Amino acid sequence: MNNKFLVGNILREVKNGRLNCNNATNETMKDRNDNSTYVKKIRKGRQVFPYASAQWQKKNLKSFVKTQGHDISSVTALSSKEAVSEGHPFKNYDEDVLGFMIARALTIDEDEFNQLEEQEQKLWSKKGKKYTKNITKKRRSNLMLSTLQSVGPTRLTNEFCVRKTDQTPLLYAKEVYSTDMSSSFILDMNKVGKFTASANETGYRDYSEQEADIYEFADNEIILDKNIRLKRIKDTIKGLQLMTTRTTMTNNLEDLSAKFMIFAEYEIGNSLFNNIFEDSRLKFDYLKQAIEENEDYRLSKIYIGCRDEYFKQDEQWLIDKVKFEFEDDDRFVIGSVGEVIDKYLAIVDVE
């Protein structure tokens, strides 16, 4: 199987946001008001760079693909500190594309066992009045994400609020910011929808050999129908573009859809677009060098999409600067974000 990685970077606009909140106990510079909430941030000297984690982005991605008809794994709580997902990536989008890890034996009672389908019951062994099965499995994520981080130093603002009560009004504060935020991604395209079965409980495996027999996977070759694989890939790309979220959006509504996006297929999973933004600028010379150094491994055109009248740099809109730098090079496809994604999705393929 040949390697094929979709490598890209996305720039998003945040006007008045608080995307990913932080636990107050982790905050090093707390507000004098004890009733305050904080955002995740990285500090470099006195400079502050708010960010949203890769996990936060994946949560929003799962919400989007669910609306597109994909199954998302259910999660079973084993205790107040431990939970496991289904461990069925053939069925579930998230366990296929985003990976999973289950490292333990699971125990259920007879009532729970009786609610299982007959096919699933074959995976369990009876021990006394309980049923158990070893569910130790793990799968690497086929979608790798960086944090969604501000491309320049950002001033945080404390927004003071008041909640009316039957007595004294309750004062509280929340951190908000306005900035442009960038994140990179790598999608291992040829491994989406392809799974392994093994008796080895210590290594990477998607299914045990017993599960492979029960699910009737022939010769441990577990491969989804190509159309389903392509749908998972296409909806992943659309989900990354749109980044729909309801998290902390009640009073800070944002359009987090990609305002700038660059991506291309490569034989190697090198995150060459990871550091193209710095100090609120797109580093064109850096980008061009990164492209040339990875040219031997490029498999597709390089797609660059940008929203009109977005992200001024040196008194010039970013889309105009992109066209000036790359429009005459036939290796590039340039347009709005929606246009270049539609052109790519019309020709994308997997082995």
Give the helix ranges, DSSP H, for the chain: 54-67, 93-97, 110-114, 118-121, 209-214, 226-242, 284-293, 318-326, 337-345
> Considering the domain boundaries, does residue 48 fall inside one?
no
Domain count, the chain: 1
> Considering the domain boundaries, does residue 232 fall inside one?
no
Reported confidence tier of residue 217, pLDDT bands at 50, 70, 90: confident
Q: 322 near 306, Cβ under 8 Å?
A: yes
User: What pLDDT shows up at residue 150?
Assistant: 97
Q: Among 3, 7, 1, which residue's Cα sits nearest to residue 265?
A: 7
User: What pLDDT shows up at residue 237?
Assistant: 98
pLDDT average, residue stretch 104-112: 82
Q: Could you tell me the two tokens for 321?
A: 């600067």
Reported confidence tier of residue 238, pLDDT bands at 50, 70, 90: very high
Q: How far is CA 109 from the centre of its chain?
A: 35
Find the range with the poorest average confidence among 46-50, 78-82, 155-159, 237-241: 78-82
Using CA atoms, how far apart are residues 95 and 73, in angstroms rounded to an integer?
A: 7
Q: Phi/psi at 65 (nearest 5 deg)?
A: -65, -25
* pLDDT(26) > 70: no
* pLDDT(181) > 90: yes
User: What pLDDT shows up at residue 210?
Assistant: 80
**Is the pLDDT higher at 54 or at 211?**
54
Q: Could you tell me the two tokens for 239?
A: 């989900």
User: What pLDDT shows up at residue 253?
Assistant: 79
User: What pLDDT shows up at residue 30?
Assistant: 65
> Considering the domain boundaries, does residue 237 fall inside one?
no
* pLDDT(251) > 90: no
> Considering the domain boundaries, does residue 124 fall inside one?
yes
What does R_g of the chain's alpha carbons equal in angstroms?
Answer: 23
Q: 306 near 318, Cβ under 8 Å?
A: yes
Q: 87 near 74, Cβ under 8 Å?
A: no
User: What pLDDT shows up at residue 117?
Assistant: 86
> Considering the domain boundaries, does residue 307 fall inside one?
no
* pLDDT(62) > 90: yes
> Considering the domain boundaries, does residue 34 fall inside one?
no
pLDDT average, residue stretch 73-89: 84
> Considering the domain boundaries, does residue 116 fall inside one?
yes
Domain of residue 131 covers 74-141+195-223
Q: What is the mean pLDDT of the chain?
A: 90
Find the range with the poorest average confidence among 36-45, 208-217, 312-321, 340-349: 208-217
With 0-12 / 13-18 / 19 or more C-beta atoms within 10 angstroms meaning exposed / middle / buried, residue 166 is exposed
User: What pLDDT shows up at residue 160?
Assistant: 82
Reported confidence tier of residue 72, pLDDT bands at 50, 70, 90: very high
| Tens-place pLDDT, residues 40-50 | 999 999 999 99
Reported confidence tier of residue 206, pLDDT bands at 50, 70, 90: very high
User: What pLDDT shows up at residue 32?
Assistant: 62
Q: Phi/psi at 54 (nearest 5 deg)?
A: -60, -35
Side-chain half-sphere exposure of 33, counting CA atoms within 13 A? 15
Q: Among 84, 38, 30, 94, which residue's Cα sits nearest to residue 62?
A: 94
Tell me the β-bridge partners of 185. Answer: 8, 145
* pLDDT(250) > 70: no
Using CA atoms, how far apart are residues 109 and 95, in angstroms rounded to an integer?
A: 25
> Considering the domain boundaries, does residue 339 fall inside one?
no
Please give the model's pTM, rounded to 2 decimal places.
Answer: 0.88
Using CA atoms, how far apart are residues 282 and 286, in angstroms rounded to an integer?
A: 9
User: What pLDDT shows up at residue 51?
Assistant: 96
* pLDDT(92) > 90: yes
Using CA atoms, how far apart are residues 77 and 333, in angstroms rounded to an integer?
A: 47
Q: Could you tell me the two tokens for 99?
A: 């990976």
* pLDDT(331) > 80: yes
User: What pLDDT shows up at residue 118?
Assistant: 85
